[in-house]
Structure 1
Amino acid sequence: MGLRIPVLLGSVRSDRVGIRAARYIIDALTRKGHEPVLVDPMELQLPLLDRMYKEHPKGEAPANLERLATLYREADGFMIVSGEYNNGIPPALKNLLDYFLEEYFWRPSAILCYSAGQFGGVRAAMQLRMTLAELGMPSIPSLLPIPRIQQVLDEDGHATAEWIDKSAGRFISEFEWYAGALQTQRAGGTPY
């Protein structure tokens, strides 16, 4: 049985290339029998965080937050697609993440990071690990960094470099293992 996986995209820039990475990983997850769902802050148009989902009276949160809360509660794990802005987490991604807390608990996350340069977004990924752990969805040990993304993925998210499919396969297999392990543990109850 496939996993339900929200794919959180971290960019709202008009000329963003991260959508290529999101399309790539959604296709790769779908081919493995999973159910990825794109969570795009550009489409959601969330304002800068003023009130978390849980701070709204029950049933009174904005409709887009209610939909995300439902999706997140059904999730088996989260795929995070992040660029690197000044060696850090893109502000749109941090804003998107901070709207929720308990909905993430006891589920793994996996970080696909990218950049136009040679580092592939790994400096942002290191900061993301701390944030994701604090949110209750620790990241798996492996990353899927994509350096020089414009040379590796085309606009539709199709690979133009041979190495990425092999790297993505290992990355997804590791994520599946953690998602399955935590799914089993959640079924038996959580520590609190």
Structure 2
Amino acid sequence: MPLTFPVLYGSVRTERQGIVLANHVAETLRGRGHDAPLIDPLERRLPLLDRMYKEYKGDAPPVLEELAAIYKAADGFVIVSGEYNHGIPPALKNLLDHFLEEYFWRPSAIVSYSAGGFGGVRAAMQLRMTLGELGMPPIPTIFAVPKVGQAFGENGAPADERFAQRFDKFARELEWYAEALKAKRAEGVPY
């Protein structure tokens, strides 16, 4: 069954390396038959958080209205995050914090990366806490990509031959949670 998984990317750096990973994730999900729009804060140019989307009471900036519509149609979210000083990139935190109810009762999946060997797992641990608080519980598996600058060839394909197999397992887990929560949302939510 086709599902909708917005892919939220967190870096706005000039020479960001994770954008290749974020594009690959979105393309791979589309290849599985899903709708997977890439939400890039560099393209969206969100304002720094002053008010949440809901606090605009119908007078939100167009970029927030567009994102709200995408998020409300979502079955789950994929968060692609680098690790900045052992934490979450500020652009990603800003992107996430504009919304709340739009995330409720939908799973999230964390794809983390770093230039070093840990694959951004320290940021992923912080994301687990943040995503749970936002109402989109993360699936158990984290898809970590170490040495992201070397993870893809010039053609955009993963350099690691096991990448596709690892991602397939990760995606199947996300699909399972998304289908289960979608069925439960159709019955109603706890509050």
Give me the whole-angstrom Cα distance separating, in 1, the residues matched to 2:154 and 2:72: 31
Shift of 1:26: 1.0
Give me the whole-angstrom Cα distance separating, in 2, the residues matched to 1:12 and 1:158: 22
Structure 1 counterpart of 2:22: 22
Relative distance call for 1:138 and 1:156 in structure 2 (3 A) is: farther
Normalised TM-score (structure 2):
0.98
Q: In the TM superposition, what whole-angstrom CA distance separates every residue of 1:129-186 from its partner, at most 9, and x where no partner exists?
A: 0000000001000010000112112366421111211110100000000000000000
Q: In the TM superposition, what whole-angstrom CA distance separates every residue of 1:42-71 from its partner, at most 9, and x where no partner exists?
A: 01111210011000022x100010010000
Amino acid at match of 1:107: R
Instruction: Give aligned-pair identity as a percent.
Output: 60
Structure 1 counterpart of 2:143: 144
Amino acid at match of 1:92: A
Structure 2 counterpart of 1:128: 127
Structure 1 counterpart of 2:48: 48
Q: Matches of residues 43-192 of structure 1 in structure 2 within 5 Å?
A: 43-58=43-58, 60-154=59-153, 157-192=156-191
Give me the whole-angstrom Cα distance separating, in 1, the residues matched to 2:91 and 2:157: 25
Structure 1 counterpart of 2:33: 33
Backbone CA RMSD of aligned residues: 1.0
Give me the whole-angstrom Cα distance separating, in 2, the residues matched to 1:51 and 1:81: 24
Amino acid at match of 2:181: L
Give me the whole-angstrom Cα distance separating, in 2, the residues matched to 1:68 and 1:125: 23
Give me the whole-angstrom Cα distance separating, in 1, the residues matched to 2:138 and 2:157: 25
Relative distance call for 1:152 and 1:134 in structure 2 (3 A) is: same
Conserved? CA contact 1:5–1:36, under 8 Å: yes
Q: Give the paired residue count.
A: 191
Give me the whole-angstrom Cα distance separating, in 1, the residues matched to 2:104 and 2:75: 10
Give me the whole-angstrom Cα distance separating, in 2, the residues matched to 1:155 and 1:8: 23
Where structure 1 has 5 or more consecutive residues not aligned to the other structure, the ranges are: none
User: After TM superposition, where is structure 1 displaced by more than 2 Å over at least 4 residues in a row?
Assistant: 154-157
Normalised TM-score (structure 1):
0.97
Mean Cα displacement is larger for which, 147-156 or 119-128?
A: 147-156
Shift of 1:24: 1.1
